[in-house]
Amino acid sequence: MKEVSVFLDLKSIHNCRDLKGIPTKDGRVIKPGKLIRCGHLASASQEDLSLLQKMPVSDVVDFRSSWEKQTMPDQKVAGSTYHDILMFNESKLGSIENASQMEKIVAENPIDAMAVIYSELLTDPYCINQWKAFFNILLESKGAVVFHCTQGKDRTGLGAILIESLLGVDPELIFDDYMQTNMYMEDHANADSKAVQNALNLDQFEELGTVNPLLFVCPQYYQTAMKTIEEHWGNVDNYLEQVLGIDANMKKQFQDKFLQ
């Protein structure tokens, strides 16, 4: 497993990484202290929050659902603007008639269930509007942007994929950075497993070898995201332009802002 983004050893914030130094195909690199991905900030210590404040962090983007935020509200980074960008279409989730059937599907075939979620995150009109809002925050930010979900692996991972694609990072490095998450998940697997089981009212999960597919990232999830984009829009560049509305001028603004 290859380390691409820089791990920030913050004791109370899980899976925290700076995208700094990741090279792009045109020979530039991502600036340090500008794009920070991580898990939730609910358990963040004052020491770690102070470190983020000193970067300085100007914006915190929380991709989590209302339920996740109510259960584990973020500790706030002083001086930053907090943005609720809920990446799950909660009205759509709420319309599922047979919740127990959904729970059974997740338990019996979590890889397929997660793949469906990745596809929905890219194609659902609600989610598309949320991605647009996220990229507007990035473009207007004055300091570092912290973006996170609960574990910092799926919604956050997909956000990083889109950012790195926009900045011109080679797809192989994007994939490696996506998979890098698994370097930090083992220590939290037991606690996270209990949280997921409680959320879904499940007693156990099918496992992929020794890896629980709901607690780690899998190549299949990344491949599903790429396949979904390719089937609908041909490539990620087209998705960014045609779906998220990032034209050539905006792309240049992003690259000038976040690359050196």
Nearest CA to 114 out of 24, 173, 241, 200 is that of 200
> pLDDT tens digits, residue range 170-195?
999 999 999 999 999 876 665 555 55
> Which residue has 């970067």 as its token pair?
55
Q: Looking at per-residue confidence, does 203 or 163 come out higher?
A: 163
**Is the pLDDT reported for residue 95 higher than 50?**
no
> Which residue has 């809002």 as its token pair?
133
pLDDT of residue 124: 95
Average pLDDT for the chain: 88
Whole-model pTM: value is 0.89
Nearest CA to 165 out of 59, 24, 15 is that of 24
> pLDDT tens digits, residue range 22-81?
999 999 999 999 999 999 999 999 999 999 999 999 999 999 999 889 999 999 999 999
DSSP 8-state secondary structure symbol assigned to residue 82: E
Return phi, psi of residue 29, to 5°: -135, 160
